[in-house]
């Protein structure tokens, strides 16, 4: 035993450097998408793994990473999502999973979220909720949304994506409002 936490799901990352970083953090099977070059063969591997053991998608917190996440989600329903906070995936050369510490990768994987089953009873949030929370249409809404999204483990998003994710992952009003309160308290301490 190598002392690393064992992850039973297949982890999907973008490139070879991401694979190396994940392998440093956990003991898991990892498949790379070759960035935006996601092939039918790789999707077939991901589908088979989803049926057999499950899949966690861990892509870079940037535009291409979000596109890959969306492609995998559309092709393989039910995959879990791990989001790497941008601040923890950054160095002087750029942003990506490959720059994250092993601890940050483990935290992101532990916080991986599953989509909410369509038949499950859940509250549905609207654009009005985002306005009321100051996460859309208010000064500083983007920065606030980024902080709250990272606290909730749903990543960095625009307002439309934020709304889709809180509904998709079946978050409760209490979870969201607790993240908002923590963000507001942190903001007050920084001032």
Q: Per residue in 106-147, pLDDT tens?
A: 999 998 888 765 445 567 899 999 999 999 999 999 999 988
- The count of structural domains within the chain is 2
Residue 27 to residues 5, 24, 163: CA-CA distances in angstroms? 6, 8, 33
Q: What is the largest CA-CA distance in the chain?
A: 51
Pair 150, 85 in one domain: no
CB 165 within 8 A of CB 145: no
Q: Is residue 93 part of a domain?
A: yes
| pTM: predicted TM-score of the whole model, two decimal places | 0.73
Provide the residue range defining the domain that includes 43: 10-110
Q: Is residue 120 part of a domain?
A: no
Pair 73, 138 in one domain: no
Pair 81, 139 in one domain: no
Pair 98, 145 in one domain: no
Pair 90, 149 in one domain: no
Higher pLDDT, 155 or 120: 155
């Amino acid at each position: 035993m190598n002392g690393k936490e064992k992850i039973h799901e297949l982890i999907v990352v973008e490139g070879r450097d991401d694979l190396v970083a994940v392998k440093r953090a956990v003991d898991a099977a990892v498949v790379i998408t070759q960035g935006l070059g996601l092939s039918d063969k790789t999707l077939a591997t991901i589908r088979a793994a989803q049926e057999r053991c499950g899949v966690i998608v861990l892509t870079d917190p940037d535009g291409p990473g979000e596109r890959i996440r969306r492609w995998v989600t559309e092709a393989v329903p039910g995959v879990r999502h791990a989001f790497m906070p941008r601040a923890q995936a950054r160095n002087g050369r750029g942003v990506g999973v490959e720059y994250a510490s092993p601890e940050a990768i483990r935290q992101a994987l532990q916080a991986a979220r599953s989509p909410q089953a369509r038949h499950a009873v859940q509250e549905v949030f609207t654009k009005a909720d985002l306005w009321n929370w100051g996460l859309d249409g208010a000064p500083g809404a983007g920065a606030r949304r980024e902080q709250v999204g990272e606290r909730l483990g749903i990543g960095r998003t625009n307002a439309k994506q934020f709304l889709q994710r809180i509904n998709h992952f079946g978050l409760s009003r209490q979870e969201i409002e607790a993240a908002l309160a923590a963000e507001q308290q942190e903001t007050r301490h920084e001032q």
